[in-house]
Amino acid sequence: MTTASERDLVLYERDGKIATITLNRPEVRNAQNGKLLYALDAAFEQFASDDDAAVAIVAGAGPHFSSGHDLGPTGDRDVTFDRRSLWWDHVGKAGAENRFARECELYVGLCRRWRDLPKPTIAAVQGACIMGGLMVAWSCDLIIASDDAFFADAAVDFGIPGVEIFAHPWELGPRQAKEFLFTSQRLGAADAHRLGMVNHVVPREQLMTEARELAGRIAQRPRLGLALAKQAVNQCEDLMGKRSGTDSVFGLHQLAHAHNAEVMGDMNGGGSPDVVRRALAEQPKA
Ligand code: ZN
Protein backbone atom coordinates (compact mmCIF):
# COMPACT_ATOMS: atom_id res chain seq x y z
CA MET A 1 0.00 0.00 0.00
CA THR A 2 1.37 3.43 -0.92
CA THR A 3 1.22 5.99 1.89
CA ALA A 4 0.23 9.63 1.39
CA SER A 5 3.77 10.98 1.83
CA GLU A 6 5.17 8.43 -0.65
CA ARG A 7 2.42 9.38 -3.11
CA ASP A 8 3.57 13.02 -2.95
CA LEU A 9 6.82 11.95 -4.60
CA VAL A 10 4.82 12.13 -7.83
CA LEU A 11 2.01 14.63 -8.34
CA TYR A 12 -1.06 14.01 -10.51
CA GLU A 13 -3.14 16.95 -11.72
CA ARG A 14 -5.73 17.21 -14.45
CA ASP A 15 -6.83 20.32 -16.31
CA GLY A 16 -9.55 19.52 -18.82
CA LYS A 17 -8.37 16.55 -20.86
CA ILE A 18 -4.70 17.02 -19.99
CA ALA A 19 -3.13 15.26 -17.02
CA THR A 20 0.22 16.39 -15.69
CA ILE A 21 2.33 13.85 -13.82
CA THR A 22 5.26 15.47 -12.01
CA LEU A 23 8.29 13.73 -10.51
CA ASN A 24 8.55 15.58 -7.23
CA ARG A 25 11.92 14.99 -5.55
CA PRO A 26 13.66 18.15 -6.76
CA GLU A 27 16.01 18.21 -3.75
CA VAL A 28 17.79 15.17 -5.27
CA ARG A 29 17.16 16.10 -8.93
CA ASN A 30 14.23 13.70 -9.05
CA ALA A 31 16.46 10.69 -8.44
CA GLN A 32 14.36 7.55 -8.72
CA ASN A 33 14.11 5.24 -5.74
CA GLY A 34 11.53 2.45 -5.50
CA LYS A 35 9.06 4.69 -3.68
CA LEU A 36 9.13 7.25 -6.46
CA LEU A 37 8.84 4.65 -9.23
CA TYR A 38 5.80 3.02 -7.63
CA ALA A 39 4.27 6.46 -7.07
CA LEU A 40 4.88 7.18 -10.76
CA ASP A 41 3.22 3.89 -11.65
CA ALA A 42 0.22 4.81 -9.48
CA ALA A 43 -0.05 8.16 -11.29
CA PHE A 44 0.02 6.41 -14.69
CA GLU A 45 -2.69 4.05 -13.43
CA GLN A 46 -4.82 7.02 -12.34
CA PHE A 47 -4.35 8.59 -15.77
CA ALA A 48 -5.21 5.32 -17.55
CA SER A 49 -8.44 4.83 -15.61
CA ASP A 50 -9.59 8.48 -15.74
CA ASP A 51 -12.01 8.64 -18.68
CA ASP A 52 -11.76 12.43 -18.76
CA ALA A 53 -7.98 12.39 -19.19
CA ALA A 54 -6.83 12.04 -22.81
CA VAL A 55 -3.13 12.93 -22.77
CA ALA A 56 -0.51 13.02 -20.01
CA ILE A 57 2.51 15.28 -19.71
CA VAL A 58 5.32 13.76 -17.63
CA ALA A 59 7.45 16.48 -16.05
CA GLY A 60 10.11 16.91 -13.38
CA ALA A 61 9.90 19.48 -10.57
CA GLY A 62 12.87 21.84 -10.22
CA PRO A 63 15.78 22.52 -12.58
CA HIS A 64 16.27 18.90 -13.73
CA PHE A 65 13.98 16.25 -15.19
CA SER A 66 15.74 13.31 -13.49
CA SER A 67 19.28 12.35 -12.50
CA GLY A 68 18.42 8.64 -12.80
CA HIS A 69 18.18 5.84 -10.29
CA ASP A 70 18.84 6.76 -6.68
CA LEU A 71 22.16 5.02 -5.98
CA GLY A 72 22.69 6.74 -2.63
CA PRO A 73 21.56 5.89 0.91
CA THR A 74 17.90 6.74 0.10
CA GLY A 75 17.86 4.26 -2.78
CA ASP A 76 15.66 1.80 -0.80
CA ARG A 77 16.99 -1.20 -2.71
CA ASP A 78 16.30 -3.61 0.16
CA VAL A 79 12.67 -2.58 0.64
CA THR A 80 9.65 -4.73 -0.24
CA PHE A 81 6.92 -3.06 -2.32
CA ASP A 82 3.65 -4.26 -3.79
CA ARG A 83 4.82 -5.54 -7.14
CA ARG A 84 3.21 -4.93 -10.53
CA SER A 85 4.61 -8.07 -12.20
CA LEU A 86 4.54 -11.65 -10.96
CA TRP A 87 8.26 -11.62 -10.20
CA TRP A 88 8.92 -12.65 -6.63
CA ASP A 89 10.27 -10.20 -4.06
CA HIS A 90 14.03 -9.65 -4.46
CA VAL A 91 14.46 -8.84 -0.76
CA GLY A 92 16.34 -11.61 1.02
CA LYS A 93 17.46 -13.28 -2.22
CA ALA A 94 21.18 -13.69 -2.88
CA GLY A 95 23.46 -12.72 -5.76
CA ALA A 96 22.21 -12.43 -9.32
CA GLU A 97 18.73 -13.63 -8.33
CA ASN A 98 18.31 -10.52 -6.17
CA ARG A 99 19.38 -8.12 -8.92
CA PHE A 100 17.53 -9.90 -11.70
CA ALA A 101 14.20 -10.14 -9.83
CA ARG A 102 14.43 -6.50 -8.72
CA GLU A 103 15.37 -5.04 -12.11
CA CYS A 104 12.85 -7.19 -14.05
CA GLU A 105 10.12 -5.82 -11.83
CA LEU A 106 11.20 -2.28 -11.02
CA TYR A 107 12.92 -1.15 -14.21
CA VAL A 108 12.08 -3.31 -17.25
CA GLY A 109 8.60 -4.24 -15.99
CA LEU A 110 7.46 -0.74 -15.02
CA CYS A 111 8.94 0.99 -18.08
CA ARG A 112 7.25 -1.48 -20.43
CA ARG A 113 3.95 -1.03 -18.58
CA TRP A 114 4.18 2.73 -19.11
CA ARG A 115 5.16 2.39 -22.77
CA ASP A 116 2.14 0.09 -23.33
CA LEU A 117 -0.32 2.52 -21.68
CA PRO A 118 -2.89 3.03 -24.46
CA LYS A 119 -3.17 6.82 -24.09
CA PRO A 120 -0.60 9.30 -25.44
CA THR A 121 2.14 10.55 -23.11
CA ILE A 122 4.55 13.45 -23.57
CA ALA A 123 7.77 13.84 -21.58
CA ALA A 124 8.59 17.52 -20.90
CA VAL A 125 12.33 17.50 -20.19
CA GLN A 126 14.51 20.27 -18.77
CA GLY A 127 18.06 20.17 -17.38
CA ALA A 128 19.51 16.73 -16.73
CA CYS A 129 17.90 13.61 -18.09
CA ILE A 130 20.45 11.03 -17.10
CA MET A 131 20.42 7.21 -17.16
CA GLY A 132 17.19 6.14 -15.38
CA GLY A 133 15.81 9.54 -16.46
CA LEU A 134 16.21 8.37 -20.05
CA MET A 135 14.14 5.29 -19.25
CA VAL A 136 11.20 7.41 -18.08
CA ALA A 137 11.45 9.86 -21.00
CA TRP A 138 11.84 7.02 -23.53
CA SER A 139 8.74 5.29 -22.10
CA CYS A 140 6.72 8.30 -23.27
CA ASP A 141 5.45 8.67 -26.83
CA LEU A 142 6.75 12.16 -27.50
CA ILE A 143 9.56 14.19 -25.95
CA ILE A 144 9.58 17.96 -25.82
CA ALA A 145 12.82 19.38 -24.44
CA SER A 146 13.83 22.81 -23.24
CA ASP A 147 16.93 24.32 -24.80
CA ASP A 148 18.92 23.63 -21.60
CA ALA A 149 18.04 19.91 -21.52
CA PHE A 150 20.78 17.32 -21.87
CA PHE A 151 20.83 13.53 -22.00
CA ALA A 152 23.55 11.11 -20.87
CA ASP A 153 24.11 7.46 -20.05
CA ALA A 154 27.33 6.97 -18.07
CA ALA A 155 26.76 3.25 -17.47
CA VAL A 156 29.97 2.25 -19.28
CA ASP A 157 31.87 4.05 -16.48
CA PHE A 158 30.36 1.39 -14.22
CA GLY A 159 31.47 -1.35 -16.66
CA ILE A 160 27.82 -1.76 -17.74
CA PRO A 161 26.68 -1.51 -21.39
CA GLY A 162 23.81 0.94 -20.73
CA VAL A 163 20.73 1.38 -18.58
CA GLU A 164 18.29 -1.48 -18.08
CA ILE A 165 16.07 -0.62 -21.07
CA PHE A 166 18.54 -0.69 -23.95
CA ALA A 167 16.56 1.46 -26.39
CA HIS A 168 19.63 3.45 -27.46
CA PRO A 169 19.95 2.13 -31.06
CA TRP A 170 16.26 2.86 -31.69
CA GLU A 171 16.37 6.27 -30.07
CA LEU A 172 19.66 7.49 -31.57
CA GLY A 173 20.64 5.18 -34.42
CA PRO A 174 23.48 2.64 -34.00
CA ARG A 175 26.54 4.85 -34.57
CA GLN A 176 25.36 7.73 -32.43
CA ALA A 177 24.28 5.21 -29.77
CA LYS A 178 27.83 3.85 -29.69
CA GLU A 179 29.40 7.30 -29.30
CA PHE A 180 26.80 8.21 -26.66
CA LEU A 181 27.77 5.07 -24.68
CA PHE A 182 31.53 5.00 -25.42
CA THR A 183 32.08 8.61 -24.30
CA SER A 184 29.32 9.10 -21.65
CA GLN A 185 29.14 12.57 -23.24
CA ARG A 186 26.13 14.75 -22.74
CA LEU A 187 23.82 14.98 -25.72
CA GLY A 188 22.33 18.48 -25.87
CA ALA A 189 18.69 19.11 -26.73
CA ALA A 190 19.49 20.42 -30.24
CA ASP A 191 21.54 17.29 -31.10
CA ALA A 192 18.88 15.02 -29.60
CA HIS A 193 16.34 16.77 -31.83
CA ARG A 194 18.54 16.42 -34.91
CA LEU A 195 18.87 12.67 -34.25
CA GLY A 196 15.10 12.25 -33.89
CA MET A 197 15.07 11.41 -30.18
CA VAL A 198 13.27 14.65 -29.31
CA ASN A 199 10.20 16.05 -31.10
CA HIS A 200 10.65 19.74 -30.29
CA VAL A 201 13.12 22.03 -28.53
CA VAL A 202 11.69 25.16 -26.93
CA PRO A 203 12.98 27.93 -24.63
CA ARG A 204 13.10 26.82 -21.00
CA GLU A 205 10.41 29.24 -19.84
CA GLN A 206 8.00 27.98 -22.51
CA LEU A 207 8.45 24.25 -21.87
CA MET A 208 5.18 23.54 -20.06
CA THR A 209 3.17 25.97 -22.23
CA GLU A 210 4.40 24.28 -25.39
CA ALA A 211 3.84 20.79 -23.91
CA ARG A 212 0.25 21.74 -23.01
CA GLU A 213 -0.34 23.21 -26.45
CA LEU A 214 0.83 19.97 -28.10
CA ALA A 215 -1.17 17.86 -25.62
CA GLY A 216 -4.26 20.00 -26.29
CA ARG A 217 -4.06 19.36 -30.03
CA ILE A 218 -3.70 15.61 -29.48
CA ALA A 219 -6.50 15.52 -26.88
CA GLN A 220 -9.06 16.62 -29.48
CA ARG A 221 -8.59 13.44 -31.51
CA PRO A 222 -10.62 10.23 -31.00
CA ARG A 223 -9.44 8.14 -28.06
CA LEU A 224 -9.48 4.80 -29.83
CA GLY A 225 -7.79 6.21 -32.94
CA LEU A 226 -4.95 7.53 -30.77
CA ALA A 227 -4.65 4.23 -28.90
CA LEU A 228 -4.48 2.27 -32.15
CA ALA A 229 -1.98 4.68 -33.72
CA LYS A 230 0.22 4.40 -30.64
CA GLN A 231 0.02 0.63 -30.69
CA ALA A 232 0.73 0.58 -34.44
CA VAL A 233 4.04 2.44 -34.02
CA ASN A 234 5.01 0.43 -30.94
CA GLN A 235 4.26 -2.85 -32.72
CA CYS A 236 6.40 -1.80 -35.69
CA GLU A 237 9.27 -0.81 -33.38
CA ASP A 238 9.01 -4.24 -31.78
CA LEU A 239 8.93 -5.93 -35.19
CA MET A 240 12.15 -3.99 -35.90
CA GLY A 241 13.61 -5.77 -32.89
CA LYS A 242 13.14 -3.32 -30.04
CA ARG A 243 11.56 -5.71 -27.57
CA SER A 244 13.79 -8.69 -28.35
CA GLY A 245 16.85 -6.39 -28.54
CA THR A 246 16.19 -4.89 -25.12
CA ASP A 247 15.53 -8.38 -23.69
CA SER A 248 18.82 -9.61 -25.14
CA VAL A 249 20.90 -6.69 -23.84
CA PHE A 250 19.27 -6.92 -20.41
CA GLY A 251 21.22 -10.19 -20.11
CA LEU A 252 24.49 -8.33 -20.82
CA HIS A 253 23.46 -5.71 -18.26
CA GLN A 254 23.00 -8.45 -15.65
CA LEU A 255 26.33 -10.03 -16.64
CA ALA A 256 28.03 -6.67 -15.97
CA HIS A 257 26.39 -6.36 -12.53
CA ALA A 258 27.48 -9.93 -11.75
CA HIS A 259 31.06 -9.22 -12.88
CA ASN A 260 31.22 -6.06 -10.74
CA ALA A 261 29.82 -7.92 -7.74
CA GLU A 262 32.25 -10.82 -8.19
CA VAL A 263 35.37 -8.75 -8.82
CA MET A 264 34.70 -5.55 -6.83
CA GLY A 265 32.08 -6.66 -4.34
CA ASP A 266 29.62 -4.04 -5.61
CA MET A 267 27.13 -4.44 -8.48
CA ASN A 268 27.94 -0.95 -9.78
CA GLY A 269 31.69 -1.15 -9.29
CA GLY A 270 31.64 1.16 -6.29
CA GLY A 271 31.74 4.53 -8.07
CA SER A 272 28.08 5.20 -8.71
CA PRO A 273 27.41 8.61 -7.13
CA ASP A 274 30.69 10.01 -8.53
CA VAL A 275 29.82 8.86 -12.04
CA VAL A 276 26.44 10.58 -11.89
CA ARG A 277 28.01 13.74 -10.45
CA ARG A 278 30.51 13.77 -13.30
CA ALA A 279 27.74 13.33 -15.89
CA LEU A 280 25.97 16.33 -14.34
CA ALA A 281 29.13 18.45 -14.34
CA GLU A 282 30.43 17.75 -17.86
CA GLN A 283 30.01 20.38 -20.52
CA PRO A 284 27.66 19.85 -23.48
CA LYS A 285 29.04 18.47 -26.70
CA ALA A 286 30.37 21.26 -28.95
ZN1 ZN B 1 20.94 -2.57 -13.37
What is the 173 CA–ligand 1 centroid distance (Å)? 22
Give residue 2's pLDDT. 46
What is the 139 CA–ligand 1 centroid distance (Å)? 17
User: What's the domain count of the chain?
Assistant: 1
- Cβ–Cβ < 8 Å for 25, 31: yes
Q: For the domain that residue 243 is a member of, what is the CATH number?
A: 3.90.226.10
In a domain, 213, yes or no: yes
Give residue 5's pLDDT. 60
- Cβ–Cβ < 8 Å for 38, 114: no
In a domain, 130, yes or no: yes
In a domain, 17, yes or no: yes
What is the 76 CA–ligand 1 centroid distance (Å)? 14
What is the 276 CA–ligand 1 centroid distance (Å)? 14
In a domain, 100, yes or no: yes
- Containing structural domain, residue 231: 4-281
What is the 203 CA–ligand 1 centroid distance (Å)? 33
What is the 177 CA–ligand 1 centroid distance (Å)? 18
- Cβ–Cβ < 8 Å for 160, 249: no
What is the 161 CA–ligand 1 centroid distance (Å)? 10
Q: Tell me the H-state helices in the chain.
A: 4-7, 34-49, 95-103, 110-116, 132-139, 168-172, 174-183, 189-194, 207-219, 223-239, 242-264, 272-281
In a domain, 38, yes or no: yes
In a domain, 99, yes or no: yes
Q: What is the pLDDT along the chain (286 residues), one digit of tens a residue?
A: 444 465 499 999 999 999 999 999 999 999 999 999 999 999 999 999 999 999 999 999 999 999 999 998 899 999 999 999 999 999 999 999 999 999 999 999 999 999 999 999 999 999 999 999 999 999 999 999 999 999 999 999 999 999 999 999 999 999 999 999 999 999 999 999 999 999 999 999 999 999 999 999 999 999 999 999 999 999 999 999 999 999 999 999 999 999 999 999 999 987 666 666 776 776 554 4
What is the 258 CA–ligand 1 centroid distance (Å)? 10
In a domain, 286, yes or no: no
What is the 255 CA–ligand 1 centroid distance (Å)? 10
What is the 280 CA–ligand 1 centroid distance (Å)? 20
What is the 132 CA–ligand 1 centroid distance (Å)? 10
In a domain, 169, yes or no: yes
Tell me the pTM. Answer: 0.94
